[in-house]
Amino acid sequence: MTPEEANEKLDAHRQRIDELDREIRALLNERTKVVENIGKVKRECSLPIYEPKREEEVFRNIMDDNPGPLPADALKRVFERIIDEMRTVQRDRMKREQE
């Protein structure tokens, strides 16, 4: 492979990464909206915000039949971060509403 060919290939791959990242961002924002809607229902009905059983279900859903190549433990850590960040968004919203 010449350096020019390598650069062309890298450029194409990087464009694809940027596209995928914007798609992932769109899904994360959509997920945040749904989490906010869940929070609204829970607040209206005074239901507990944190439900460990449901959290297990969320992890099972993404860990089951993972086709890879991203390993299960890596996938789990990414979703732990996602869930944690969305919990913080919820907590901040509740604080603001109480103030």
Binding site for a second copy (CB under 8 A): 1, 3, 6, 9-10, 13-14, 16-18, 20-25, 27-38, 41-42, 44-45, 47, 54, 57-58, 61-62, 66-71, 74-75, 77-79, 81-82, 85-86, 88-89
Q: For residues 23 and 99, which CB has a smaller minimum distance to a second copy in the complex?
A: 23
What is the C-alpha separation between 74 and 65, in angstroms, rounded?
A: 15
Q: Which of 41, 40, 29, 21 is nearest to 82 (CA)?
A: 29
Could you tell me the smallest distance in angstroms from the CB atom of residue 55 to a second copy?
Answer: 11
Q: Which of 39, 27, 23, 25 is nearest to 88 (CA)?
A: 39
